[in-house]
Structures are given as structure tokens and as C-alpha cells.
Structure 1
Amino acid sequence: MNNESISTLSALLVFVQQNSSFFFCMLIAVWGSTAAYIARLKKSGKDFSLTELIGEWSISGFAGMLTVLVCQEFGVSLTLTAFAAGISGHMGGTAIHLLEQATRKRFPNFFKAE
């Protein structure tokens, strides 16, 4: 390995270490999404679809990310943040809708242009 490769790898490791709790919470959100998807499949009797699961992960990952950002802003513990991210991941689009409603209520002038 040359010095540039070692420097890049070192920078990547520092980034991961500094953001490991964020990645952990995102993993919990995606896990919540997977659990919800499996439960829906069992209830409906539908066949597994990788495309659908990836779509679920995308939506739930976004919901989890928003939840983590809100929790960080309010100084919530890592344990409670991970819990909230998991619930948001499980809820998926519903969590995004609820976060949007709360934001509109808290900052009504921010959305006046719509």
C-alpha cells in the first residue's frame, strides 16, 4: 500500500469511528423495516420481493435518519435514539408523515410558500 492509500483508509476509519453511533442507529432503523416487511408478508401471504424490501429499506432508512437527527438536536441518549430510530424504521412512511406534521406545527412560517 502506498502512503495515499493508507491516508485514505485512515481517514475512512476516523470517519466511521466518529459516526459509529449514527450508523448503528441507521442499522436499527433498517432492521425495524425488515421486521415490519416480514410481518406484512406473513399476514398477507404475498411472496418475498427483493425490490420491495429495498424500497422499504430506503423509506425506513430516511425515517430513521430524520429521527436520529431530531434526537441528536434534543440531546437524547444513544439508547433512546436507537430505540426511536428502530420504531421509525418499523413505521416507515408513517414516521416521515408524523415528523412532517410536527415540523409544520412547530415552524408554520417555514412552509408558507407552498
Structure 2
Amino acid sequence: MTSEQMRVSYTPDGDTIRCWRTVGQAAAEVRVRLAYIDAPEIGNPQTTAYAVSARAYLRRLLALGEVVDVRIVGQDLYGRILAEVIRIRDGGNCGLRLIHGGYAALWQCPRSRGEYYAAQEIAQRKRLGIWRTPGPWQTPWLYRGRAATMSHDPLDYPASRYLLYALIGLIGGLVARLQYWAGGEIPHCWRCALFRLGVDLLTSGFCGVLTLWLSAEFGLSGVMTAFLAGISGHMGSRALFLVERILQRRLQRLGEK
């Protein structure tokens, strides 16, 4: 087992963190999967509440920018470092605390690591977290096997996914702009009309991408995320139109003076 000190940069779910190898290493961001544990999957509608709870607890354990001791035990199929993550400030084992609190279940843990099994037995006996009632949240690896483990870290999303949600937001913004033009709000100058349309589409596309990021935080389904991306693009366009109206009125008042 090798050990490195890394700085926490992001926590996408209840058993994964992103870290910077900036302490005694060349700067590089890596993904670290907590060894021996498995937290409920955010992408599974049945387990989202437990998954969000596990992520929130891990974020409380590890502050952004905190330096931790990463004790590497291997690498998983998705290129992530498998490691025990230890808080330097108090020596706390984050994976073990997740197990002890009922936020995660043991997964591929060797019998020699008796402290993990003891922690899970305590959580089960006290019916904490995922052990409160039987359900798929107690066996997250089964869902992951069926779902082929799609990452819920926005930084791992392919460019095509960003483009898709930008397009959805753009369509929402275009609908709003066409509604305004249909109501007689068409600029007399065609250059002004094209400029406003361009700014409008950029804003609504950005709103669609922002919605994709927020969906990862709240564990929303793909259908709900697409719906909200269109709505956010539409509302972004409407907000721009209101700003235009306010600026026009102020310019008119200045002209009258």
C-alpha cells in the first residue's frame, strides 16, 4: 500500500472524490474511489435520497481544499484510484465513518479488515441509514452492474452530453424570443435583431449546461433534467428581454433630458 497527500477539489458522490496531487507531486487532478465501500447510486431513482445523504456526509467529512492522506490499494475498471482516505487533522478514516453511519455498504472488503465489518454490524444493529429498511440501497453494486456505472461527476460527462443540453436550453430560449417577436417586439434594425438573437441563444445555451451541472447535485433523472434545461433556457431569454426593456427606458429618459 502506497500513500500520498492530496488536496480535495470536489466530491461528486458518496464514495468518490476528486483530488489535486499538489503535495510533493506534479500538479494533476485525479479521481479517488474509496476502497472497500459502496454508497447508493445517485442515478437510481429508488436510492437517490440515500445517495444524496451519503454525498452530503462525505462533504462534511472532507472540506474543499483539505489535505488528506490517500492510501492507495489499487485502481478500478474506470481508471479511478482505489484508496482509503484519511483525514490528516484527526486521523479519521472516511470510508470507515461512512460504513459506521449507515451511509454505505461493504464491497470487496477483505476479511482481514475486521474494523470495517465491525462498523457495518453496528450500523445494521442500530438500523442506521441504508439499514433502516430493506431495499436496493443496501446493495448498490447490483444497480451499478445493470447501469454500467455512468459517472455522476459533471467533469466526466462527454462533450456530446453538454452539447445536447445546451441545444435543449437554446431551443427554450429561441421559443421565448420568437414569442416576443410575434408580439411585435421586433427591432427595426436587422443587425440589432441578429445581435440580440445571438446573445439570447448563448445565454439560453449556458442555462441548459448549468441545469446539467445542477442535476448532478440533486440527482435528477435525465427526463427531468431535459425538461428543466428547456425551461431555464426559456427563462434566461425572458430575463434578457426584461433587461433590454429597462435599458431602453433609461436611454429614452436620458434622451428626453
Q: Fold conserved (TM > 0.5)? A: yes
- Of 80, 96, 110 in structure 1, the residue corresponding to residue 224 of structure 2 is 80
Residue 73 and residue 44 in structure 1: after superposition, are their counterparts in 2 closer, same or farther (change >3 A)? same
* Residues 34-81 of structure 1: per-residue CA shift (max 9 Å, x gap): 110000001124246111100101221222222111012222111111
On the 8 A contact 1:24/1:82 being kept in 2, the answer is no
1:16-95 mapped onto 2 (5 Å cutoff): 18-47=158-187, 49-92=193-236
Separation in structure 1 between the aligned mates of residue 238 and residue 194 of structure 2, nearest angstrom? 21
On the 8 A contact 2:173/2:237 being kept in 1, the answer is no
Identity of aligned residues (%): 37
State the 1:93 CA deviation: 6.1
Separation in structure 1 between the aligned mates of residue 201 and residue 227 of structure 2, nearest angstrom? 17
Q: Which has the higher strand share?
A: 2
Separation in structure 1 between the aligned mates of residue 227 and residue 159 of structure 2, nearest angstrom? 17
Long gaps (5+) in structure 2: 1-156, 240-257
Separation in structure 2 between the aligned mates of residue 66 and residue 75 of structure 1, nearest angstrom? 14
Equivalent residue number for residue 97 of structure 2: none
Higher-Rg structure is 2
TM-score by length of 1: 0.60
Separation in structure 1 between the aligned mates of residue 233 and residue 223 of structure 2, nearest angstrom? 15
Structure 1 stretches of at least 4 aligned residues deviating more than 4 Å after TM superposition:
none
On the 8 A contact 1:67/1:88 being kept in 2, the answer is yes
Separation in structure 1 between the aligned mates of residue 162 and residue 169 of structure 2, nearest angstrom? 11
On the 8 A contact 1:32/1:90 being kept in 2, the answer is yes
> Aligned letter for 1:43?
G
> Aligned letter for 1:57?
L
Structure with the larger RCO, 1 or 2 (CA within 8 Å, 6+ apart): 1
**Alignment partner of 1:76: what SS?**
coil
On the 8 A contact 1:26/1:65 being kept in 2, the answer is yes
On the 8 A contact 1:63/1:93 being kept in 2, the answer is no
**Alignment partner of 1:92: what SS?**
helix
